[in-house]
Structure 1
Amino acid sequence: MRVGIVGCGKIADGHAEQLRAIGGADLVAACDREPLMVERFAQRWNGVAAHADMAEMVRAERLDVVHIVTPPDSHVQLACQAMELGCHVFLEKPFALDAAGTRRILECAQATRRKIGVNYLYNFETPGLQLRDLMAERTLGDVVHIDTTYGYNLGGDYGMAVMGDPAHWVHRLPGKLFHNVLDHVLAKVVGFLEEPVTVNAFAHRMRPASGDPALDAMPDELRFTLSGANGVTVSGMVSSHARPVSHTMKVYGTRDTVELDYAARTLVRSARQDQPSSLGRLFPAWVQSLRFARNGARNTGDFMRNQFHYFQCMRVLLRGFYGAIDGRDEDPVPHAHILRVATLIDGIVEALERPA
């Protein structure tokens, strides 16, 4: 399939790298409104033709698939236009600014009979895939509660770009800083919650005031709770200050509990005390050490097989997406899943706007 990328920012290189790796996809073109951005991208990726307009690119390059990695306020217009031009579309998160925009894109996909995908890559990270298997095998029993954390490093390259530019597109999002990562947080938990879901949330700014009203109006700590009609609850934290910067999830089940660390690519069963008294407190640490050692051995094997790079999970997701286009696989991220994530983000944003 002939593929083009719309938007030549930093994440575009991640998409290009994985497209070159999966096979069956030929990256032939890219476009960006900034000529310098697309020219440099084309220099980094040999064989990529540079364009300034998406519609012109689609027609000139006879594209089958378009990856849209622009800011989310452009996603509805660009995704619908690409599908109406006959292309399948893979979107970066956030999928859209709100659930209304999400519905428009999904309805356009149905009307044009084109595939629409989104980069909910962490569901395809090693621990995410392991959790899916455990749930299919009923190893955990019924899920009771989920606790999830996501760290946002404002001292990193991306965080500094956001904080250094009050006009950065993140400041235009309804949920500001949190809106940019909530897709990642919620995409991992929506499958456990039955509708309707009750949402509560609060946020605050922990960093010192900068004197810039746009920056100082942006909170950097978020806490939320979700409660599904099936009784499953979720507690979530998005933090810019907790250290180490974490990306974890703990799933409590009626049979067993597991802890996932997406950064370290580990999934371990929680420690339990099976022996009495002090002896029972001696063994769990050794059992947990063995479990982590097994994770380390598996990760070492993946590293040796070149399956441990940063965007390995995106590679797995893209193989599924292109397999769905070919008719070999189901959509890796169903439409209903995408819409539920968007609806929950709307709910969190609305909760943050309620008077205290």
Structure 2
Amino acid sequence: MTLRMAIIGCGKIADGHVEQIRATGRGEVVAVCDREPLMAEQLATRMGIAGRYTDAARMLAETRPDVVHIATPPDSHLALARLCFEAGCHVFMEKPFALTEAQSRQILALAASHGKRVGVNYLYNYEPPGLMLEGLVQRDALGEIVHLDTSYGYNLSGDYGLAVMADPGHWVHRLPGKLFHNVLDHVLAKVVPFLDDRIECQVLAFRRRGPTGSAIVDAMPDELRFLLRSGPVTVSGNVSAHGRPVSHTLKVVGTTDSVELDYTARTLVHSARWAQPSALGRLFPAWVQARQFARNGWHNLGLFRRHQYHYFQCMRELLVRFYDAVEHGTADPIPPARILRVTRIIDLIVTAMATPSGRSTTDTPTEAAMPEVAP
């Protein structure tokens, strides 16, 4: 079966969706849609796509896609998802999945009522280190998880950052959590498999950069620290626009072993152990670590030689699993419970940012609140 695909939202990320849909070999992009005609036209022309629309309902009626990728700002996701489900389409959503947990629940309920699949682009779980971590957890190689420490950097001097800083009307400024609301999915999607829905949250958010003179732009904080507790598991998080080099890391501390993941370098190494007595023993860990990094390097070289090291290779892996769920009825690569947990914690962080104490909690577990066993 060859899936017929369509894309709603023709911004920069849409290029990645088109490229990776084609790379999977699972379907054809038959149409693109954007309210701004020029955006739809330029994407369709560059990518050689026949259908180009400014009205989503008309596109769905005329092209009848099997799967629609929604790559618009999150405040439009609920309405667009409803439109797609009612047209008989499965939906793959760009993050953030929705504006709030309540909207996320509505989207998931609509998918279930129409018998359709819905996915979200939590792509970094499918980077090489994320897949390695998945294997370690499935083998119970780390023991019980004690703590996770996650760090995510953001460059406000990059193309996207400059657009946000220069335009007070940019949609990021409309989000309740502003910049953080747009990037927290990347941070939280990697840790929620180890948590349940009973979450305590403490937050510190502030603006480190100087004033610009725009009240809207200056209202956007650019440094975030948060601490979560879910039963016996804790999470510390750091989102920084100023730390250099720009980081994207995760440390997972277990009762048996601990690992450190670098998503930029695509490495996973086990934390150093000092097993030998006396000062002589301190000579060995550095060599053991070097050997682990070398193995990661050779593994990545092998992926490169097999043409599996593309920047969005992780999205390709996620899409293959999502299309398997659509065509063959396999499990959702991102389960609904995990999507809800991410959006619930984002709600908690946004609430805590607006609270003088910086705290917020939830202790109302749902049917989907049980911890998962693998990321």
1:221 alignment partner in structure 2: 223
Quick one: which amino acid aligns to residue 308 of structure 1? Answer: Y
1:327 alignment counterpart: 328
Inter-partner Cα distance in structure 2 for 1:100 and 1:135: 30
Matching residue of 1:14? 16
Q: Distance in 1 between matches of 2:329 and 2:312?
A: 23
1:209 aligns with 2:211: yes
Q: Please say if residues 32 and 49 of structure 2, whose CA atoms lie closer than 8 Å, have aligned partners that are also in contact.
A: no
Aligned mate of 2:43, from 41, 44, 47 = 41
* Matched letter for residue 156 of structure 1: G
The 5 Å alignment of 1:181-330 reads: 181-229=183-231, 231-330=232-331
Is contact 2:197-2:341 (8 Å) kept?
Answer: no
- The counterpart of 1:140, out of the listed 128, 139, 142, is 142
The count of residues paired between Structure 1 and Structure 2 equals: 355
Cα distance in 2 for residues equivalent to 1:241 and 1:45: 35
- What is the CA distance between 1:193 and its match in structure 2? 1.1
Q: What's the counterpart of residue 89 of structure 1?
A: 91
* Corresponding letter in the other structure for 1:142: E
CA distance, structure 2, for counterparts of residue 343 and residue 285 of structure 1 = 40
Q: How far, CA to CA, are the matches of 2:174 and 2:210 in structure 1?
A: 21
State the secondary structure of the residue aligned to 1:130.
helix
1:104 and 1:276 map into 2 onto residues whose CA distance is 58
User: Quick one: which of 10, 31, 34 aligns to 1:32?
Assistant: 34
Alignment correspondent of 1:78: 80
For residue 254 of structure 1, what is the amino acid of its counterpart?
Answer: T
Q: Which moved more, 1:273-282 or 1:142-151?
A: 273-282
SS state of the match for residue 33, structure 1? coil
Q: Aligned-pair distance for 1:23? A: 1.4
For 1:260, give the aligned amino acid: L
Deviation string, structure 1 residues 271-296 (Cα, Å, up to 9, x no partner): 11111122111111111011000000
1:354 aligned to 2:355? yes
Rounded Cα–Cα distance in structure 2 between residues aligned with 1:146 and 1:174: 26
Secondary structure at the counterpart of residue 333 of structure 1:
coil
Q: How far apart, in 2, do the equivalents of 1:47 and 1:242 lie? A: 40
- Measure, in 2, the Cα distance between the counterparts of 1:234 and 1:242: 20
Q: What is the CA distance between 1:47 and its match in structure 2?
A: 3.4
SS in 1 for 2:322: helix
Which residue identity lines up with residue 186 of structure 2 in the other structure?
Answer: H
Task: Compute the displacement of 1:55 (Å).
Answer: 1.1
Identity score, percent: 61
Unmatched 5+ stretches in structure 2: 358-375
Q: How far apart in 2 are the matches of 1:196 and 1:61?
A: 44
CA distance in 1: counterparts of 2:37 and 2:99, whole angstroms: 26
* 1:123 maps to amino acid: N
3-state secondary structure, aligned to 1:321:
helix
Q: Residue 3 in 1 paired to residue 22 in 2? A: no
| CA root-mean-square deviation | 0.8
Displacement of 1:202 after TM fit?
A: 1.3
What amino acid is aligned across from residue 48 of structure 2 in structure 1?
N
| CA distance in 2 between partners of 1:191 and 1:65 (Å) | 26
Give the secondary structure class of the aligned counterpart of 2:275. coil
Q: In structure 2, which of residues 160, 181, 191 is the aligned counterpart of residue 158 of structure 1?
A: 160
The amino acid that maps onto 2:176 is P
Give the stretch that moved more between structures: 251-260 or 270-279: 270-279
Contact 2:201 2:227 in 1 (8 A): yes
Q: Give the counterpart letter for 1:60 in structure 2.
A: E
Counterparts of 1:331 and 1:195 in 2: how far apart (Å)?
20
CA distance in structure 2 between the aligned counterparts of 1:344 and 1:350, rounded to whole angstroms: 10
Q: CA deviation at 1:328?
A: 4.7
The one-letter code of the counterpart of 2:297 is G
Match of 2:364 in 1: none
- 1:105-160 per-residue CA deviation (whole Å, 9 max, x = no partner) reads 01100111111000000111111111011011011111100000000110111111
Q: For the Cα contact (< 8 Å) 2:211–2:218, is it kept in 1?
A: yes
**SS of the residue aligned with 2:334?**
coil
TM-score by length of 1: 0.98
